Amino acid sequence: MTSASVVRDAVEALLAGPQPMPIVQAGDPVLRAVAEPYDGQLDDGLLAELLVAMRATMHAAPGVGLAAPQVGLGLAIAVVEDQWPLDDETALARERTPVPFRVLVNPSYEAVGDERVGHYEGCLSVDGWQAVRSRWRSVRLRCLDERGAEVDEVLHGWPARIVQHETDHLLGRLYVDHAEMRSLVAPTNALRWTDPTPHRAAQALGFDLP
């Protein structure tokens, strides 16, 4: 376990640096390490400052989630928020509903049912690239919020996907670890496969969907 003073020093250095905070890219070991559980290493004021900075960094990227390792901090904290407007067809196909800003402290998830869904997914730490990732359609999320209150709820669709993605970051996993690599799209092709579902891409690129 890292001492609380080391964690505090790391957070203070991050907050004193450029804002929004630089996002760590794939290949940095911090993205492949299991994050240290949060158990009060930061006082309330410093934690609040960190969460404000993480939210601002997520918005600036822009993204719908950000885990602490993505800014170089190996601590089991993530922030999520999805308020992006989508047309009805895309939102319906992806089961994408608004996710208000929330903090996930020491999160874990487990599948609810056995249905998996594949959609194109990206990551701020694999900048610009996208690939189809099969994930559980429904999960049970357990974590604490920023005030230490227990969270235990079931999520479906896109909100469940966001929680799985960010929680995986805290376990040293990237979405590309289990993505359908034949679906991989370079940044220059990012607008080519923007359909509500990846079925057309699956036919053209030759990969299977769950």
- The reported pLDDT for the residue numbered 130 is 97
Question: Strand locations in the chain, DSSP E?
Answer: 65-67, 77-82, 99-111, 116-122, 130-136, 138-144, 150-156, 179-185
Record the pTM: 0.96
Each residue's pLDDT, cut to its tens digit, for the chain (210 residues) gives 578 999 999 999 999 999 999 999 999 999 999 999 999 999 999 999 999 999 999 999 999 999 999 999 999 999 999 998 777 898 999 999 999 999 999 999 999 999 999 999 999 999 999 999 999 999 999 999 999 999 999 999 999 999 999 999 999 999 999 999 999 999 999 899 999 999 999 999 999 999
Known active-site residue 81: no
Domains of the chain, start order: 4-205 (3.90.45.10)
Return the pLDDT at 2.
Answer: 72
Report the binding-site residues: 123, 165, 169
CA 45, 51, 54, 58 torsion-angle sign:
negative
Q: What is the pLDDT of residue 117?
A: 98
Set 81, 121, 166, 180: catalytic member: 166
Q: Are strands 116-122 and 150-156 parallel, antiparallel or unpaired?
A: unpaired
| CA 192, chain centre distance (Å) | 23
Whose CA is closest to 77, among 10, 154, 155, 175?
10
Task: Give the residue numbers of the binding site for Fe cation.
Answer: 123, 165, 169
Q: Which residue has the tokens 């067809």?
A: 89
pLDDT (0 to 100) of residue 84: 80
